[in-house]
Structure 1
Amino acid sequence: MKALLVVGTDTEVGKTVLTSSLAAYWQIYQPNKSLGLMKLIETGIGDREFYQELFGSSPSLEIAAPLRFQTPVAPPIAAEREGRDIDLGQVWQEFRRLGQQKDFVLVEALGGLGSPVTHELTVADLAGEWRLSVVLVVPIKLGAIAQTVANVALARQCRIDLKGIVLNCVQPCTEQQLADWTPIELLESLTCIPVLGVLPYLSDRNDLKKLALVASNLALEKFLPW
Structure 2
Amino acid sequence: MQTLFITGTVPNSGKTLLTKILAIYRQTYFSEKSLGIIELIQKEKHENKLLESFLSNSSSNTKIVNCQLPDFETLMSLNDLCSNLLGELWEKLSSLQKELDFVLVEGANSLGSPITKELLISDIVGIWYLPTILIVSVESGALNQVVANIALAVKNKVNVKGIILNCICPLAQEKISNLVPVNLVQSLTHIPVLGILPYIKDTEDTKELLNAASEIDLEFLFY
Identity of aligned residues (%): 39
In the alignment, is the contact (CA less than 8 A) between 2:75 and 2:116 conserved in 1? Answer: no
Mapped to 1, the partners of 2:120 and 2:29 lie a distance apart of 34
Residue 29, structure 1, aligned to residue 25, structure 2: no
Measure how far apart 1:44 and its partner are: 3.2
Structure 2 residue ranges without an equivalent (≥5): none
Measure how far apart 1:45 and its partner are: 4.2
Taking structure 1 as reference, are residues 23 and 209 closer, same or farther at Cα in structure 2, changes over 3 Å only? same
Residue 55, structure 1, aligned to residue 76, structure 2: no
1:191 matched residue in structure 2: 189
Residue 208, structure 1, aligned to residue 212, structure 2: no
In the alignment, is the contact (CA less than 8 A) between 1:43 and 1:78 conserved in 2? Answer: no
Aligned Cα RMSD in Å?
A: 1.9
Measure how far apart 1:79 and its partner are: 5.7
Moved over 6 A (4+): none
1:175 matched residue in structure 2: 173
Give per-residue Cα distances to partners, 1:96-120, cap 9 Å, x unaligned.
Answer: 1111111000000012211112221
Measure how far apart 1:9 and its partner are: 0.4
Give per-residue Cα distances to partners, 1:122-180, cap 9 Å, x unaligned.
Answer: 11101111110000001101101011001111111111211110000112222122011
Mapped to 1, the partners of 2:67 and 2:178 lie a distance apart of 40
TM-score w.r.t. the length of structure 1 is: 0.89
Find the residue that maps to 1:185 and give its secondary structure: helix
Measure how far apart 1:41 and its partner are: 3.1
Measure how far apart 1:53 and its partner are: 2.2
Matches within 5 A, 1:94-113: 94-113=92-111
Residue 136, structure 1, aligned to residue 134, structure 2: yes
Residue 12, structure 1, aligned to residue 12, structure 2: yes
TM-score w.r.t. the length of structure 2 is: 0.90
Find the residue that maps to 2:152 and give its secondary structure: helix
Measure how far apart 1:42 and its partner are: 4.2
In the alignment, is the contact (CA less than 8 A) between 2:8 and 2:14 conserved in 1? Answer: yes
Mapped to 1, the partners of 2:87 and 2:15 lie a distance apart of 24
In the alignment, is the contact (CA less than 8 A) between 2:21 and 2:213 conserved in 1? Answer: yes
In the alignment, is the contact (CA less than 8 A) between 1:75 and 1:118 conserved in 2? Answer: no
Mapped to 2, the partners of 1:157 and 1:54 lie a distance apart of 36
Mapped to 2, the partners of 1:196 and 1:133 lie a distance apart of 14
Residue 77, structure 1, aligned to residue 73, structure 2: yes
Structure 1 residue ranges without an equivalent (≥5): 69-73
In the alignment, is the contact (CA less than 8 A) between 1:169 and 1:199 conserved in 2? Answer: yes
